[in-house]
Amino acid sequence: MNKNNAYIELADKLGVPNSERFLKILDAMFTPEEVDICRELFAPATCHELAGRLDIDEKDLSRKLDSLVDRGMLTRGKTQYAFHTSLLAFHHECVADTAPHTGPNAIPQNVKKLWDDFFRNEWSYMFMEHTDKMIKATGRSLPISPAIEALERSPNISPDTIMPEENWKLRIEKATRRIIAPCGCRVVWGVCDHPLMTCFACFDRPRGDYYLNQPGRLLKEVTLAEAIDIALEAEDAGLVHWGDCYCCDCCCENLFPVTRDKRFELMTPNRFLAVVDEDKCQGCQDCVERCKFDAIEMRQSAGSKKLKASISAEKCKGCGFCIIKCKQNAIRYEIVRPPEYLKPPPPPNSRQTGQPVHVIPVWGHYDLK
């Protein structure tokens, strides 16, 4: 197998066939030998096993494996090694949030640039397709989380009606370890001034334990109060809380393409709807500016010369950002969907045949033997 074929096979296995841009990235990141190694590690293996399979010197291989681990390309257990099995995981582990960003193994600037090009021109479209497929297969994608502060600013919402899985404050409070990583999107192709340390994908998870304190990584462990502050600041900055992420529409792998192409139907609402009290609304339009989903329109209102905010129940995703920043406290949450709405969707492929759909991205392996 010549060099090109090995790279193409690796790209295929990661779910990115026929992409010149992605091949350029692989070429910039891996030597041909390393590609051969990674191709073999879609399932975990020890150095000894791998040396046998590839028919190469075990000591030499061990050094190469260590180098790949240091650069974030592989994860390592006591004896086992593994590669990342999806494009999403590959991005986040090898380039983004848990990848090394300082020191000798820091991701080079040219690789980040190639990723940016790949993301803006290809991956962002793939991402939407993927979400589209997921919605068709399961009925919906992951709902946006309601903002902590918006819930607190809605006195009509009794705390016991907030379900644990949508109660992010409770999740932060109950965590045993609170590890924060940089946002995987902003750290690579960030083009904005939004806060960077906002990623909760390592929060109270084996992934966090694995990467914390590893050389060159930006992850940090924070206190309960700090974690709450990070969440509140992210909400304040208008970062959409989706899954473990606090997303901006200028960088996020999900929100950027959806915003660019106005495909807001790909973002799934939560159980909450923002509702305006017209009498309190002063027409400042701050909410219109804050809304990422074009859900707020200024409309004529009886008895007022000022246009007042009006929120479309169809377009509102329940992110709550309008509520947080309303100086008049004129907006509050109403619960509009039952708790059953939060039950996980049926497993992928159950509704239609075809390519497998990853509801939860397949991350790397952090529990290797």
Whichever of 87 and 274 has its CB closer to other proteins, that residue is 274
Number of residues near other proteins (by CB under 8 A):
12
Whichever of 304 and 350 has its CB closer to other proteins, that residue is 304
Q: Which stretch binds other proteins (CB under 8 A): 11-19, 38-46, 304-312, 338-346?
A: 304-312
Distances from the Cα of 364 to the Cαs of 25, 85, 110, 123, 199, in angstroms? 19, 7, 24, 19, 17
Give the nearest distance from C-beta 283 to other proteins in angstroms. Answer: 4
The reply on whether position 330 binds other proteins by CB under 8 A is no
Give the nearest distance from C-beta 196 to other proteins in angstroms. Answer: 25
The reply on whether position 306 binds other proteins by CB under 8 A is yes
The rounded radius of gyration (Å) of the Cα atoms in the chain is 22
Give the nearest distance from C-beta 255 to other proteins in angstroms. Answer: 16
Q: What character string, x for contact with other proteins (CB under 8 A) and - otherwise, covers 272-301?
A: ----------xxxx--xx-x------x---
Give the nearest distance from C-beta 286 to other proteins in angstroms. Answer: 8
Instruction: Return the residue matching tokens 């208008």.
Output: 238
Whether the Cβ atoms of residue 109 and residue 321 lie closer than 8 Å to each other: no
Give the nearest distance from C-beta 126 to other proteins in angstroms. Answer: 28
Whether the Cβ atoms of residue 62 and residue 47 lie closer than 8 Å to each other: yes
Give the nearest distance from C-beta 285 to other proteins in angstroms. Answer: 4
Residue 169: both structure tokens together:
């404050």
H or E segment to which residue 310 belongs: strand 304-311
Give the nearest distance from C-beta 288 to other proteins in angstroms. Answer: 5
Residue 224: both structure tokens together:
């309960």
Whichever of 193 and 289 has its CB closer to other proteins, that residue is 289
Whichever of 110 and 304 has its CB closer to other proteins, that residue is 304
Whichever of 69 and 192 has its CB closer to other proteins, that residue is 192
Residue 322: both structure tokens together:
């309008």
Q: What character string, x for contact with other proteins (CB under 8 A) and - otherwise, covers 163-202?
A: ----------------------------------------
Beta bridge partners of 309: 298
Whichever of 156 and 304 has its CB closer to other proteins, that residue is 304
Whichever of 62 and 301 has its CB closer to other proteins, that residue is 301
Q: Which stretch binds other proteins (CB under 8 A): 8-16, 65-73, 303-311, 314-322?
A: 303-311
Q: Which of 256, 263, 91, 105 is nearest to 187 (CA)?
A: 91
Q: Which of 193, 284, 203 is nearest to 233 (CA)?
A: 193
Amino acid identity, position 308: K
Choice from 104, 164, 302, 305 touching other proteins (CB under 8 A): 305
- Output DSSP code: residue 93: I
H or E segment to which residue 234 belongs: helix 224-236
Give the nearest distance from C-beta 315 to other proteins in angstroms. Answer: 13
H or E segment to which residue 276 belongs: strand 272-276
Whichever of 168 and 321 has its CB closer to other proteins, that residue is 321
Amino acid identity, position 84: H
Instruction: Return the residue matching tokens 């045993």.
Output: 176
Distances from the Cα of 110 to the Cαs of 14, 28, 113, in angstroms? 21, 8, 5
Give the nearest distance from C-beta 281 to other proteins in angstroms. Answer: 10
Spatial separation of the C-alpha atoms in residues 97 and 92, rounded to whole Å:
6
Residue 257: both structure tokens together:
């393409």
Give the nearest distance from C-beta 298 to other proteins in angstroms. Answer: 6
Q: What is the dihedral of CA 37, 40, 44, 50, to 10 degrees?
A: -70
Whichever of 294 and 367 has its CB closer to other proteins, that residue is 294
The reply on whether position 212 binds other proteins by CB under 8 A is no
Whichever of 11 and 309 has its CB closer to other proteins, that residue is 309
Spatial separation of the C-alpha atoms in residues 113 and 81, rounded to whole Å:
28
Tell me which residues touch other proteins (CB under 8 A). Answer: 282-285, 288-289, 291, 298, 304-307
